Amino acid sequence: MLLVSLILLGAIGTRLAVLQLWQGHIYRDKAENNRIRIVPKPPVRGNIFDRKGRVLASTRLTHAAYLWPIVVKQPDWPKNLKYLSQLLSIPEESIQSRIEQAGYNSPTLIRIARSLNPAQITALEEFKTELNGLEVDIETVRDYPNKAMGAHVLGYTGELNAEELKKRQAEGYRLGDIVGKMGVEKAYEQQLRGEWGGIQLEVDGAGKVMKVLGQKVGQPGKDVTLTLDLDAQRAAEAALGDRKGAIVAINPQTGGVLAMVSNPSFDPNVFSSQITPKIWKQVQSKGNPFVNRALRGFPPASTFKLVTATAGMESGKYPPNTILNTFAYLNVGGTAFGEWNRAGFGPMGYVRALAWSSNTFHGQIGRGVGGPTLIKWARLYGFGKATGIELDEEAPGLIADDAWKRKNYNWEWTDGDTVNMSIGQGFTQASPLQVAVMFAVPANGGYRVKPHFFDNNQDTNKWRTSLHLKPTTIKTLREGLRAVVAEGTGKALNVPNLPPVGGKSGTAEAPPGESHTWFGGFAPFDNPTIVVVAFGEHTGGGGGSTAGPMVKQVMEAYFKNNKR
């Protein structure tokens, strides 16, 4: 009996030693985790304002559902997941994936649903008696008071997925973090995000809070003020209407973006709550609503004739006083490049050729200076590369050359390619924003501006690069653009309620659909403060008659709210 007793006592003593000495820290941590609850508090995201201090994006309070994995017994998970899935309209696999990502022994509350409705809150509160690891708490979510207005500029926020979290953990991001996914929200994530806070609570076995052990106050994100003008933005949205296309307005002196609209669009508020398959289908039904057409390339059509005219004058081959005869068509390498009126305009110079948008005049200029010279000036104006605006959705467009054509078509550059480029057709692709930058050059006296949204009040010269144009070139271009509105294809903007406007229309062939339409203009002519470019995708009609009135509508709203 003594031997048996010694063996039993030895076994018990050994087990106690293992539990208390060898594995003691493990069980102490588990006990501490069962006693201590960490309630994370995400930071309040910074607000976004327009240039006059009006709110474009802020936050609002809502309710979210959280799970505390460590207090839920493993056998209860299947039943709990099924109930939560039905109540919250979230797949069971999605909830389980979040728990597994955090770990079943996580002492931190894990958010599983946001923007709960009153019925869901009531049902979850009732269910807490069966699942003591469930919490419903208040949190802030992103709110866009103007709904779809400015959606492509502002972007939207969303929760980091597993892949994104893995990449950004080193930056201090954690499970459940809300980040900017597009637009300004993404571009200025570091300023807007803020720092997490949290509360450490002591709880009893039933999960009841006994006392607060500690608290870290979260740091709200910084507010961001944009160059955007809400009045101009609203007018641009209304002017574009239901048409597919884009409108861009910039300050030609600084490059600050005053308005940027793309349609189809979306309401970024949908990403502040749970997106059901039904809601997602409705969003996608509009046809690529997340594509920012203001930053995508399209044939710039006759707006590009500003570049052609510049190349002609700056090359010295076709000085400002050049007069060329125009024809019904130009025959280049067996291809007929027709005049849009199918008859020609007779002899004309730069001013009248811009006013009436002569294809054969500018085709002769392009062919005369040659492809390399025309390409050089296109790139100096900013075509063929990203403008550098903060939004990373920007496409560079395309200014093709001999090397590009040989690589993609196994064929050399021809005079026909040059003539096609000279009238803004062929391979050339430019975004409405790039076209706005082009119009800013004659508007501000010869500077290419870098478009931007962040209003940091820095020196204007930071945003400008001189193209070193001859004064006579600038003068001729400006006279031509003024003639477009005064007597040519842009008469829609020659109205008494606007200051004098300079501009240029464009109509691009875009088979198999209707033509694209363009109009770009700036005002007041003597000291421009705004450039507006309107682009209609497959709208049909002419640039002056279709896109011109859009520009007029934006300018009217801008000058009404910004007295000259």
For 472-513, the DSSP string reads HHHHHHHHHHHHHHHHSTTGGG--TTS---EEEEEEE--TTS
What does R_g of the chain's alpha carbons equal in angstroms?
32
Instruction: Determine contact, residues 253/278, Cβ cutoff 8 Å.
Output: no
Model pLDDT, residue 216: 67
Q: 331 - beta bridge partners?
A: 336
Task: Write the DSSP symbol of residue 357.
Answer: T
Q: 434 - beta bridge partners?
A: none
Q: Which range is least confidently modeled, 67-76, 300-309, 356-365, 403-412? A: 67-76
Q: How far apart are the first and last CA of the chain?
A: 109
With a cut of 80, say whether residue 207 has pLDDT above it: no
Average pLDDT over residues 366-387: 97
Helix (H, G, I), strand (E, B) or coil at 33: helix
With a cut of 70, say whether residue 26 has pLDDT above it: no
Instruction: Provide the whole-model pTM.
Output: 0.86
Confidence of residue 562 (pLDDT cuts 50, 70, 90): confident
544-548-552 Cα angle (round to 5): 150
Confidence of residue 286 (pLDDT cuts 50, 70, 90): confident
Confidence of residue 195 (pLDDT cuts 50, 70, 90): confident
With a cut of 70, say whether residue 351 has pLDDT above it: yes
CA pair distance 154, 269, nearest whole angstrom: 11
* Sign of the Cα pseudo-torsion (36, 41, 42, 43, in order): negative
* Sign of the Cα pseudo-torsion (85, 89, 94, 98, in order): negative
CA pair distance 238, 251, nearest whole angstrom: 20
Q: Tokens 């653009």 label which residue?
A: 481
The per-residue pLDDT of the chain, averaged, comes to 88
Where are the CATH 3.40.710.10 domain residues in the chain? 230-274+292-561
Model pLDDT, residue 166: 84
Where are the CATH 3.90.1310.10 domain residues in the chain? 35-225
Peptide bond into 512 cis (omega under 30): yes
Q: Which two tokens stand for residue 524?
A: 């007041």
Q: For residue 60, how many C-alpha atoms fall within 13 Å in the half-sphere facing its CB?
A: 12
Model pLDDT, residue 475: 98
The candidate with the shortest Cα–Cα distance to 381, out of 442, 315, 319, is 442
Q: Note the CATH number of domain 230-274+292-561.
A: 3.40.710.10
Average pLDDT over residues 2-14: 77
CA pair distance 350, 221, nearest whole angstrom: 53
Provide, rounded to the nearest whole percent, the portion of the chain with pLDDT above 70: 89
At 257, which helix (H) or strand (E)?
strand 257-263
For the ranges 100-109, 149-158, 458-467, the one whose mean pLDDT is highest: 149-158
Question: Could you tell me which CATH class the domain 35-225 is placed in?
Answer: alpha beta
With a cut of 70, say whether residue 330 has pLDDT above it: yes
Question: For 396-427, what is each residue's pLDDT tens digit?
Answer: 999 999 999 999 999 999 999 999 999 999 99
Q: Which two tokens stand for residue 280?
A: 């997602």
